[in-house]
């Protein structure tokens, strides 16, 4: 276990900036993935949302966690596209669940928040694991975090394992045929490319885990 301090609003804002920055940096890559089955705007959506989040944080610092994540969710929604809507649903659900948690983040809470994310996105779009969507990455992250929490790990380690799981889940979508969404119309042609939503989630989790670990030393 660790002696992690309670997570402050300033730290959460820093984590948000790390995540949106990573997504913006990957916007070209994400656009290329999306161009296989979509209109290639996925990366542009991520970059626009990132710029919006940075601008709002600089101009109107939020008063609490709910206000912060409501702002992030709204910036993704305003950026548009299918991923903007999915990100809105995910961030809103996780934000409101996280607001109920007090004190230092635990491994069990990491797993719980990923479960909330998966349930919210599944309810919104109907996708299940194996459908070649963001759910494949979220589900793998959730499973990895749950296994880590069962072993009495720290939040740092749970996030690291979740990020590794998210990456495995995203990479696995390259071997899948899309079953929901616009790319499902392509059938076998959809196989061979990583789903851009799953890739975005993996990138976000990797940035989140790395940044959180940098701010919390393990003992």
Residue 163: domain span: 9-214
Q: Is 190 part of any domain?
A: yes
Q: Is 62 part of any domain?
A: yes
Q: What is the CATH number of the domain that holds 72?
A: 1.25.40.340
Region 143-161 average pLDDT: 93
Structural domains in the chain (count): 1
Of the listed ranges 26-40, 52-66, 157-171, the one predicted with least confidence = 26-40
* 21 confidence band (pLDDT: 50, 70, 90): very high
Q: Is 2 part of any domain?
A: no
**For the whole model, what pTM was predicted?**
0.92
Q: Is 1 part of any domain?
A: no
Q: Is 74 part of any domain?
A: yes
Segment 173-211, tens digit of pLDDT: 999 988 776 666 666 666 889 999 999 999 999 999 999
Helix/strand/coil (H/E/C) assignment for every residue in the chain = CCCCCCCCHHHHHHHHHHHHHHHHHCHHHHHHHHHHHCCCCHHHHHHHHHHHHHHHHHHCCCCCHHHHHHHHHHHHHHHCHHHHHHHHHHHHHHHHHHCCCCCCCCHHHHHHHHHHHHHHHHHHHCCCCCCCCHHHHHHHHHHHHHHHHHCCCCHHHHHHHHHHHHHHHHHHHHHCCCCCCHHHHHHHHHCCCCCHHHHHHHHHHHHHHHHHHHHCCCC
């Amino acid at each position: 276990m660790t002696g992690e301090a309670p997570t402050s609003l300033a730290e959460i804002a820093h984590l948000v900036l790390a995540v949106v920055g990573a997504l913006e940096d990957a916007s070209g890559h994400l656009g290329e993935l999306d161009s296989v089955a979509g209109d290639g705007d996925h990366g542009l959506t991520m970059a626009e949302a990132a710029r919006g989040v940075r601008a709002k944080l600089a101009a109107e610092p939020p008063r609490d966690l709910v206000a912060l994540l409501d702002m992030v969710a709204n910036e993704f929604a305003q950026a548009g596209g299918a991923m903007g809507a999915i990100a809105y649903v995910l961030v809103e659900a996780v934000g409101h669940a996280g607001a109920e948690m007090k004190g230092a983040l635990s491994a069990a809470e990491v797993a719980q928040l990923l479960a909330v994310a998966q349930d919210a996105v599944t309810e919104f779009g109907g996708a299940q694991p194996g459908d070649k969507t963001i759910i494949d990455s979220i589900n793998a992250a959730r499973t990895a975090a749950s296994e880590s929490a069962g072993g009495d790990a720290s939040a740092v380690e749970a996030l690291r394992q979740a990020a590794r799981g998210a990456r495995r889940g995203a990479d696995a979508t390259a071997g899948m045929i899309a079953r929901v969404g616009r790319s499902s119309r392509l059938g076998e042609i959809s196989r061979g490319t990583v789903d851009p939503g799953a890739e975005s989630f993996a990138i976000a989790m990797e940035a989140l885990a790395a940044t959180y670990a940098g701010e919390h030393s393990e003992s």
